[in-house]
Structure 1
Amino acid sequence: MDYQNEFIVAVRHRLESGSARQLSRRYKKGELVRVRKGVYVDKEHWLGLKPWDRYAATARAVAAENPSAEFCFETAALFWGLHIVGVPTHIHLANASRGHAGSRSPNTTAAALAPAGTTGLERIRGYGIYRHSYSTDTVYLRGLRLTGLAQTAVDVLARSSFTKGVVLADHAISAARFPSLFMSKAVLGTAVKGLASEAKRQRVNLILGFADENSGSAGESLSRAQIHLLGFPAPELQYEFSDARGFVARTDFFWRDQGVIGEFDGDAKYLRDEYLGGQSAREAVLAEKKREDRLRALGFKVVRWDWATANNPALLTAKLLAAGLTPLRNTPGRTIHQRTQG
C-alpha cells in the first residue's frame, strides 16, 4: 500500500502541479495540518481522529516523509495488530546511528486562526520520534518496514510492566483472538534468547510463563494480571455454567472454592455491533441481567468491573474483597514495574 496517498505530500504535489504555493496558502488559512515535514492532511479529518488512529496516521506520515523508515517496539506492534495498553508518546524507529539516536518532540503543526489565535491542535496530543540505536532486521508489511512479529512482541514485553506485558502476551499466543498470526510460547521463547540482557530475558520469561491463551480480551488479561499481583487466588478462565434450562454462560473468571464469578465489562460489549449479535444496547443489557440472575440462582456471587477498575489496584481490591475473596500472599510478580521509554 502507498501510504503517501493518505496525505498530501509536498514533493508529489509539486511534481503534479508545478508549485507548492497552494499547500502553503491552505496551511495558512487553517485548512491543513502539517503532520511531518512536507506531509499534510485535512485539519478537520485530523482533529476528528481518535488518539490511536492519530498515532497510527502519524507513523504512516513518517513513512510518507521517509519511505526507508524502519519501525520497532510499540509502533511495530500496532501495525502487526498486537494488543498494547495506552497510546505511546513517540513513534519508534530502529537502526539509527548513535549520532542520530534519541527522542525528538512532536512537530505536527497548524496555522493559528485569527482572531482566536488558536490552531485547534491545543487539545490533542502530538507524537514525537524516538530513534533507537538498535540494529535489527525488518520485514515489509503493507508497505511499511517493521521488526519481525516475534521480535516485536518480545521487544515490547522487555519494556513493559507486568500487567501491560500480560495483555500483549495473552493476545499473541491466542489462536482465537489473533488467528492468522498467533505464536506459540516456544516461538516467543526462541526470540527471548536474542535479548541483550539476562534481566530482560527473565522479565519476559516470567510474563510468558503467566500468559494464558484462554484469556478472552485485553481487559480480561489486564484484570488477571492485577489479580495475580494483588495476591488473590488464581481464577479459572472461560468456565461454562448450565442450569435446568440449559446453557447459561461462559464466564470470564470463576473462583470455585469461594463460589465467586468475576466478569469484566468493556464498553465495546454494549456499543459495538459485532458484540451485540443484532441486539440493541438496551436489549444486550437486559440479556446480561437475566444471565446474571440465572448465575446467582445457582448459588454463586457475581462481581463485575470495568476498565477504570481493572487499571486501579485499590478499586479492584475493594471489589474482590467485597465479593468475599481474600488475598493469599504477595506474589513475586508484584515487584515488576518497568517504565517504557517513549
Structure 2
Amino acid sequence: MDYQNEFIVAARHELETGASRQLSRRYKKGELVRVRQGVYVDKQHWLGLKPWDRYAATARAVAAENPSAEFCFETAALLWGLQMVGVPSHIHLANASRGHAGARKPSTSAATLDSSGTSGLERIRGYGIYRHYYSTDTVYLRGLRLTGPARTAVDVLARGSFTKGVTLADHAISAARFPSLFMSKAALSAAAEGLASEAKRQRVEHILSFADENSGSAGESLSRAQMHLLGFPAPELQCEFRDAMGFVARTDFFWRDQRVIGEFDGDAKYLRDEYLGGQSTREAVLAEKKREDRLRALGFKVVRWDWATANNPALFRAKLLAAGLTPQRNTLLRTIHPRTRG
C-alpha cells in the first residue's frame, strides 16, 4: 500500500499540480494539519481520529516523509496489530547512528486562527520521534519497514512493565485472538535469546511464564496481571456455566473455592456493532443483567470492573476485597522488579 495517498505530500503535490504555495495557504486558513514536514492531512479528518488511530497515522506520515524509516518497539507492535495498554508518547525508529539517537518533540501542527486564537489541536496529543541506537533486521508490512513480529514482541516485553507485558504476551500467543500472526511461547523465548542482557531475557521469561492464551481481551489480561501483583489467588479463565434452562455464560474469571465470578467490562462490549450481535445498546445491557441474575441464582457472587479500575491498583484491590477475595503471600512477586510491576 502507498501510504502517501493517505496524505497530501507537498513534493508530490507540486509535481502533479505545479502549485507550490497552495498547501501553505490551505494550512494558514485552518483547513489542513501538518503532520510531518511536507506531509498534510485534512484537519476535520485528523480531529475525528481516535488516539490509537492518530498514532498509527503519525507513523505512516513519518514513512511518507522518509520512506527509509525503520519502525521498532511499541510502534512496530502497533503496526503488527499487537494489543497494548495506553498510547505511546513517541514514534519509535531504529537508527544505526549513535549520534542521531534520542527523542524529538512532536511536530504535528495547525495554524492558529485569528478569529478564535486557537488551532483546534489544543486537546489533541501529538507524538514525538524517538530514534534508538539499534541496528536490526526489518521486514516490509504494507509498505512500511519494521522489526519482525517475534523480535518486536520481545523488545517490548523487555522494556515495559509487567502488566503491559502480560497484555501484549497474552495476545501474541493466542491463536483465537491473533490468528494471522500468533506466536508460541517457545518462539518468543528463542527470540529473547537475542536480547542484549540477561536481565532483559529474564524479564521476558517471567512474563511468558505467566502469559495465558485463554485470556479473552486486553482488559482481561491487564486485570489478571494486576491480580497477580496484588497477591490475589489466580482465577480460572473462560469457564462455562449452565442452569435448568441451558447455557448461561462463559465468564472472564472464576474463583471456584470462593464461588466468585469476575467480569471485565470494556466499553466496546456495548458500543461496537460486532459485539452487539444486532442488538441495541439498551438490549445488550438488559441481556447482560439477565445473564448476571442467572449466575447469582446459581449461588455465585458476581463482581464487575472497568478499565479505570483495572488501571488503578488501589481501587482494584478494594473491589476484589469487597467481593470476598483474600490476598495471599505472593512468592513469585519477588522475581518482578518493583519499577517494572505497574
TM-score interval w.r.t. the shorter chain? over 0.9
2:115 corresponds to which residue?
Answer: 115
Residue type of the alignment partner of 1:127: Y
**Cα distance 1:337–1:92, how it changes in 2: closer, same or farther (>3 A)?**
farther
Is 1:131 aligned to 2:143, yes or no? no
Cα separation, 2, equivalents of 1:246 and 1:238: 17
- Report SS of the residue matched to 1:94: strand
2:161 corresponds to which residue?
Answer: 161
Cα separation, 1, equivalents of 2:43 and 2:283: 38
Cα separation, 1, equivalents of 2:62 and 2:199: 32
Q: Note the residue ranges of structure 2 that are not aligned, 5 or more in a row.
A: none
2:184 corresponds to which residue?
Answer: 184
CA deviation profile, 1:230-274 (whole Å, cap 9, x unmatched): 001000000111111111111111101111111111111111111
CA deviation profile, 1:43-89 (whole Å, cap 9, x unmatched): 11111211111111111000000001000000000110000110101
2:3 corresponds to which residue?
Answer: 3
**Cα distance 1:117–1:94, how it changes in 2: closer, same or farther (>3 A)?**
same
The correspondence of residues 1-342 of structure 1 with structure 2, limited to 5 A, is 1-333=1-333, 335-338=336-339
Cα separation, 2, equivalents of 1:263 and 1:24: 51
CA contact (8 A) 2:106 2:127 kept: yes
Cα separation, 2, equivalents of 1:339 and 1:122: 32
Identity %: 85
CA contact (8 A) 1:95 1:136 kept: no
Residue type of the alignment partner of 2:117: G
Cα separation, 2, equivalents of 1:119 and 1:300: 53
Deviation at 1:332, TM superposition (A): 3.5
- Report SS of the residue matched to 2:178: coil
Cα separation, 2, equivalents of 1:38 and 1:333: 49
Q: TM-score scaled to structure 1, two decimals?
A: 0.97
- RMSD over aligned Cα, in angstroms? 1.3
Cα separation, 2, equivalents of 1:58 and 1:217: 26
Cα separation, 2, equivalents of 1:7 and 1:20: 16
CA deviation profile, 1:101-121 (whole Å, cap 9, x unmatched): 111001111111113222111
**Cα distance 1:296–1:231, how it changes in 2: closer, same or farther (>3 A)?**
same
Residue type of the alignment partner of 1:186: A
Q: Note the residue ranges of structure 1 that are not aligned, 5 or more in a row.
A: none
CA contact (8 A) 2:162 2:340 kept: no
Moved over 3 A (4+): 330-340
Cα separation, 1, equivalents of 2:96 and 2:86: 25
Deviation at 1:331, TM superposition (A): 4.3
CA contact (8 A) 1:230 1:331 kept: no
Cα separation, 2, equivalents of 1:203 and 1:68: 32
Cα separation, 1, equivalents of 2:59 and 2:340: 22
Cα separation, 1, equivalents of 2:32 and 2:339: 38
Cα separation, 1, equivalents of 2:146 and 2:333: 30
User: What is the total number of aligned residue pairs between the two structures?
Assistant: 340
**Cα distance 1:339–1:44, how it changes in 2: closer, same or farther (>3 A)?**
farther
Deviation at 1:145, TM superposition (A): 0.3
Q: TM-score scaled to structure 2, two decimals?
A: 0.97
- Report SS of the residue matched to 1:237: strand
